[in-house]
Structure 1
């Protein structure tokens, strides 16, 4: 059996962890409807209920995949009146709760092309648990879309503007300066900023890239090297670099920048060139 035309794989992102059988139960539903498609587990280690972290990881990862259906579940509102949606973007489809989790990835894939609410219950697993829509709604619907079910068949169309959106991270660029915030902290303690390498180039306004940046943090200020990689500075030294997603990050060679610089997600970071 060959993979359905148009989608080369399913991806799967949740906050379920790997201690229980939640991930396996969802995989089982996917296999029922799309046995020919590989399932790529992006991660199941999103902190419980952390929609922003899930949205960040999804947006950084989804563009790396070939055309796929992405089943995404970070859903503290499961069983409530929050909607469930399928969002088409750049040839991909994102399936999950309408709580802001999907929008940043849709934008990273080229922008929202269509949105459908998951109202066609004939595509769901039954009986439907009020606490496990990942297994009973998102996994079977996502797999059936990947297997060739038209997006319009999953339910009524919505306007892209109807989607729930997370607050925009702080991001302002002026000549000589860029103002952002800690957008995410990875398992190594690297602090990804809401500012991109392109934002820094805009702040430079054609001037040569400096060797150091003045970095203003809550309660402290630093002058840090602007370097291409961790090993460009001494072990234990902090720096600013461009990460694999194209964002500026505060890092420590061989260390934990979040701990060293006492930073958390949402903290303001000001860069002056």
Structure 2
């Protein structure tokens, strides 16, 4: 694997994700540190609107983005444990064509993205100030310098003490049960349009016999509602008796509950981490929803 040395254009970008928001100067200060320490590095802001302190939401956002990133280094900071004994880490992966390293807190934020890139091949614990001298801006003081160094070609091993990749903190797996004609799945994400992404995938839909045009019962927040399995949002205009609630395969390969020009999360009364049950009416060919027309 290349160590990233060479012309700046060959090193890719620094991909930056946080829960800092845009109101304060935090994200801008970290960007300034990156520009100062890694001259010529393009900095791509994935998002700074991860809900504050929500490590799970940040990990899922980073995992969704990862397949679309080119070469470079990922810098991710959603860090409610800043200033505590939680470790600051950097790790390398071997996925060709994608980011070669990730930097951030060891709280589960990085592992899903690393696994999407083939898994961490090596990891180190980044040095931090002694507890009595520690401040609360590791994004600026610890993570940004490490990301800049890795982008510039500094070997991972020179940045800190080795950490077995198997010792990295992992988040709990989301709830998911598939059996017979039903799927019980955790809500992973609600996007700004109110679409409800579930932990279930297209493979789970096939296993439960869900096919385009089929009517299903969606159980959420103690209420059951009909929905129709569709290929795209436009199909909801022809949903008929099932109303405007639909189930489709989203752009990330997950099942999602959607409404035509309405927020499915509001209609269903759900939020992230809730559980939703989707049950098929009758039989039919278990071909599953099409993945040809994601939103």
TM-score, normalization: structure 1? Answer: 0.90
After superposition, give the CA deviation of every residue in 1:166-187 in whole Å (9 maximum; x if it has no partner): 1110012234332211111111
Is residue 13–residue 73 contact of structure 2 (8 Å, CA) maintained in 1? yes
Aligned residue number for residue 77 of structure 1: 81
Once residues 69 and 44 of structure 1 are traced to their aligned partners in structure 2, the CA distance between those partners, rounded to angstroms, is 17
Structure 2: distance between partners of 1:173 and 1:112 = 30
Q: What TM-score do you get using the length of structure 2 for normalisation?
A: 0.83
- 224, 228, 233: which one aligns with 1:225: 228
Q: Does 1:35 align with 2:42?
A: no
Of the candidates 90, 110, 116, which is equivalent to residue 118 of structure 2? 110
User: Which residue in the other structure is 2:172 paired with?
Assistant: 167
Q: Please identify, of 212-221 and 154-163, the stretch whose mean Cα deviation from structure 2 is larger.
A: 212-221
| CA 1:72–1:228: 2 relative to 1, 3 Å | same
Stretches of structure 1 that go unaligned for 5 or more consecutive residues are 122-127
Indicate the residue corresponding to 2:51 in structure 1: 47
Measured after TM superposition, the shift of residue 214 of structure 1 is: 2.6
Q: Say whether the 8 Å CA contact 1:116–1:151 is kept in structure 2.
A: yes
Selected match of 1:256 from 263, 269, 274: 263
How far did residue 159 of structure 1 move?
1.5
User: What is the CA–CA distance in structure 2 between the aligned matches of 1:252 and 1:54, rounded to whole Å?
Assistant: 25
1:32 Cα deviation after fit: 2.1
**1:19-168 correspondence runs (5 A):** 19-91=23-95, 92-119=100-127, 130-168=135-173
Change (3 A) 1:175 1:114: farther
Distance 1:158 1:257 in 2: 43
User: How far is 1:218 from its partner?
Assistant: 3.0
**Take 2:231 and 2:211, find their aligned partners in 1: how far apart are those partners?**
15
Q: Distance in 2 between matches of 1:105 and 1:252?
A: 29
Structure 1 32/129 Cα, relative in aligned 2: closer, same or farther at 3 Å? farther
* Deviations, residues 104-151 of structure 1 (Å, cap 9, x unaligned): 111222222222111288xxxxxx861100011111110110110111
Q: Does 1:197 align with 2:225?
A: no
CA distance in 2: counterparts of 1:210 and 1:159, whole angstroms: 48
RMSD: 2.1
Long gaps (5+) in structure 2? 1-5, 281-295
Deviates more, 1:156-165 or 1:65-74: 156-165
